[in-house]
Structure 1
Amino acid sequence: MQWQVHGERPIYENPWVNLWLVDVQQPDGRRWEHHVVKLRHLAVAVVLDDQKRVLMMWRHRFITDTWAWELPMGLIEEQDGETPEQAAAREVEEETGWRVKSVKPLIYGQPANGITDSEHHVFRAEADVYTGPPTEVNEADRVEWIPLADIRAMIDRREIVSSGSLIGLLYLLLDEATKS
């Protein structure tokens, strides 16, 4: 059943997050204003090396006051004409100091589509060369190559919790498990 949109208006807007009220009508006829968070879209990279290791960053997220491993990820600069693939490659180099030689679509997701329009474009990438320390110094406490074989246990221990990282890593594990 499809909800009908009668209109929408912004409540708060800035370059990172926008809050809108959307006048919606549910299939049962009930009509009300629903809060919607409009976000810029995200590119995520699962970078593998030739030893079946994944490039990850250990970082703190102040919102939840937690530490966890994450994949390189960041906002797509669509206003500058940047594609999701270009954003993924750029974020890897800025956040880790590694350049990638290939970027291929892995999976697409909408992590909370009942409240936000956020899109996550997740790519599989091959490591190419280390170009030097990360230029984005506020992203991670450390950057490491994690064996793919360790990823499942890390997820189970809640050492990996971000949706972009989980989606990419779980899909990669599925790909690797189903290779013929």
Structure 2
Amino acid sequence: MSDTQWTVLGERVLDENRHIRLSTADIRLPDGVEFTQYVARMPRCAMTLVLNDSREVLLMYRHRWIIDQWVWELPGGYVDHAEDVASAASREVEEETGWRPRTMQHLVTYQPAIGTLDQPQEVYLARGADLTDTRPDINEAEAIRWVPLDEAVQMIDRGEIIGAATVVGVYRALTLP
């Protein structure tokens, strides 16, 4: 490992609200080159891969207007400021799908785009879920479906699943007993 580091000469906030902090940072590289980098910092997110006894995963079909595309995703969302991450992940499953996870186990933590974005993403594994009386929010999903894990992999190949959390979660689930 190298002891050589990039040096942050300063950072200027351009915009900030509860969803994002956008800034520019002036950076000096080890060789002396300096440049300005945009930096986005966003709150921690928690998603849940709910897996039933038939090795089916609970997915939501939703429109993502930023890319103007319909995709399948794991349920999840922002973690409230002082909220326990596993509790947030479980809460999001129930709010978005109407299913209550039976168990919650941390599966993986990752950063989706560490060159520009700081947004910790945590994926949890729930083994089994019970249908509740909670009606899923119409603004969250067009459809909710249990999908065989092998089919979810094929959906990634076909571009029907493209969100990083869902891709990471599905591939990680392939290694589970």
Cα distance in 1, alignment partners of residues 155 and 129 from structure 2:
25
Aligned pair partner of 1:12 in 12, 15, 28: 15
Match of 1:85 in 2: 86
Match of 1:109 in 2: 110
Letter in 1 for 2:60: M
5+ residue gaps, structure 2: none
Is the contact made by 1:98 and 1:127 (CA closer than 8 Å) also made in structure 2? Answer: no
Is the contact made by 2:50 and 2:126 (CA closer than 8 Å) also made in structure 1? Answer: yes
| 1:105-157 C-alpha deviation (Å, 9 max, x unpaired) | 11111010000101110111122311134343211100010011212211111
- How far is 1:168 from its partner? 0.7
Match of 1:118 in 2: 119
5+ residue gaps, structure 1: none
Aligned pair partner of 1:56 in 55, 59, 64: 59
| 1:38-60 C-alpha deviation (Å, 9 max, x unpaired) | 11111010001122110000111
Q: TM-score, normalised by structure 1?
A: 0.92
Tell me how many residue pairs correspond in the alignment.
174
Cα RMSD between the aligned structures?
1.3
Match of 1:76 in 2: 79
- How far is 1:5 from its partner? 1.4
Cα distance in 1, alignment partners of residues 129 and 50 from structure 2:
10
- How far is 1:19 from its partner? 0.7
Letter in 2 for 1:163: A
Is the contact made by 2:108 and 2:124 (CA closer than 8 Å) also made in structure 1? Answer: yes
Q: Provide runs of 4+ in structure 1 moved above 6 Å.
A: none
